[in-house]
Structure 1
């Protein structure tokens, strides 16, 4: 069975930091492939800066087209809202049973609050977590520090944010080097974030 890492996010837009982390995970951990799971726009939180689901999916799709070990999933678009990670994992497991095992990829900042996630114990019982370093305050709960299903991967620390990219693009700054070429092309052609 193929070991597939799941990298969740709004990817609004996907930037080179996301690609670096995903590629690092697939090249320097036990994961054989990484899927970007594009999180849908919440019906309860409408943000003007959040592009429609299909646009964000398309940008990720085009960005990973040349990376055979990277993929994109719209599974959460088809699930009832609000959606929780445990529900997505269950749906993916049912859809790919016998073909793939799934693991979560998350930043250390998310691990610090992981104990607040819905059914986090069940996630840890059935799935592994691959954690990359992040700067910032907070401590990891004691029960997660040496957990056998949590693997720390010494990935590069990427302090690039989609919020920064959107803000600076709107201000007329050249943010093109922070984006995969396909994402920049799509953004520019569609006149997004201006």
Structure 2
């Protein structure tokens, strides 16, 4: 089975995440997309980041009606700070019959050369890339100063997918909830109810 790994803090998961994940599951050469919830780094205090369990639960709620989308807490079990290459090694050991690929925005592809062992990632895994308007994305992971100008779009393992450009921000959602604004259209209904019931992001 071919699995695409879509990493994120999902704080909270919103309809933009689902649009991208479902588009990849339906239009890329993948059988499933796993939404890998990034755990809170115990060495970095970030008050706006909800507890790992709550963010995972929201991903469960958001994906339960999408049979090709699965939540994953695989990184919860790994020592921190963790790197993507370590996660992939762990997954390959646990699921030897699966073939794992990465899903990332075009902004992340530009900084991939800074990730730990990025050459190993490219050698062993396909990378499915969706377009982004802005270059924010997952932070660079570790340092490899060489090959700064490498055009990874031309790499044979990199696949550019013509996915919808969705610029919905979890930061904007949290800020809007705190300000008492109605952002229900930006969230799966079950996720909105979970956030509202627990009074998340209001302080």
- Deviation, 1:137, is 5.5
Query: 2:172 matched to 1:172?
Result: no
- TM (normalized to structure 2)? 0.92
- Deviation, 1:62, is 1.0
In the TM superposition, structure 1's runs of 4+ consecutive aligned residues that sit over 2 Å from their partners are: 140-143
What pairs up with 1:35-54 in 2 under 5 angstroms? Answer: 35-54=34-53
> Counterpart of 1:96?
95
Query: 2:144 matched to 1:146?
Result: no
8 Å Cα contact 2:108/2:135 also seen in 1: no
- TM (normalized to structure 1)? 0.96
Residue ranges of structure 1 left out of the alignment (5+ in a row): none
| CA deviation profile, 1:70-90 (whole Å, cap 9, x unmatched) | 001101000010000000000
Q: Distance in 2 between matches of 1:31 and 1:163?
A: 29
Secondary structure in structure 2 of the residue aligned to 1:102:
strand
> Counterpart of 2:60?
61
Aligned counterpart in structure 2 of residue 190 of structure 1, from 190, 198, 203: 198
Aligned counterpart in structure 2 of residue 109 of structure 1, from 107, 111, 115: 107
- Deviation, 1:110, is 0.4
Q: Distance in 1 between matches of 2:53 and 2:198?
A: 13
Please give the root-mean-square deviation of Cα atoms over the aligned residues, in Å. 1.3
- Deviation, 1:141, is 3.7
> Counterpart of 2:33?
34
Alignment CA distance shift 1:173-1:43 (3 Å):
same
Residue ranges of structure 2 left out of the alignment (5+ in a row): 137-147
Secondary structure in structure 2 of the residue aligned to 1:67:
coil
Q: Distance in 2 between matches of 1:137 and 1:82?
A: 23
> Counterpart of 1:127?
125
> Counterpart of 1:6?
5
Give the count of matched residue pairs. Answer: 191
Q: Distance in 1 between matches of 2:78 and 2:59?
A: 20
> Counterpart of 2:140?
none
